[in-house]
Amino acid sequence: MEIVPHNREIPIHSLTITLQFGESLHVLQPQLITAFQGSSPQRVDRYTHMKLIGLKPKKMIFSKIFGPASFLLTMPEGYEVKILNLEAKHLDWLFDPRHILFHSDGLHMTNVQQRVKNNIFSKRMFRTRFEGKGWIGVISKGPAVEQALDQTTPLYVDIKCLIAYPSQTDMNLSVYGNNLANRYMN
């Protein structure tokens, strides 16, 4: 699999993905595929049912693309893509499924129900965990930045900007700063 950004700089707004024979890729947001080069049976679009606890199942469309083929992904204005090679350090991460653009075939995606406290903070009932080795593309509005966690120093994050975090992370709702800073927090 070869991933080539079009603008050759950061941030990435469009990229071409080329798959060789025997490779495949799952695209979770197929509406962003603007060009596809390959035969018709190499792209298979399907409905998937996302079962949310206590809610009706939600239908989502995803594409599975088989090589040899190439396709162009173009992001909307203001959106960027970050490509992650999932290794052992990433396997306990919980991702927001709305931010996952694609993942390689070597990865297995499972939905994990969040703890009640994290569910209340993030307003998301489930997060996605990956098992295996491979690549994922994460889409974000604005830059996606990795921030190291420290056991002793707390990290304050706007919960709406959180794409992924380790599953063992302890989240607490809190405010920091003075009275003026408190007014402008989300």
Burial class of residue 104 in the structure, from the number of CB atoms within 10 Å of its CB (0-12 exposed, 13-18 middle, 19+ buried): buried
- pLDDT tens string 26-77: 998 899 999 999 999 999 988 875 554 444 556 678 899 998 999 999 888 8
- pLDDT tens string 94-153: 888 888 899 988 888 887 777 666 665 666 667 788 888 888 998 888 778 788 888 788
Positive or negative, the Cα torsion across 50, 96, 33, 43?
negative
| Residue-number span of the structural domain to which 10 is assigned | 2-183
Residues 170 and 46: their CA atoms lie apart, in Å, by: 36
Domain count, the chain: 1
Say what the pTM is.
0.77
Positive or negative, the Cα torsion across 105, 37, 63, 79?
positive
Residues 147 and 169: their CA atoms lie apart, in Å, by: 13
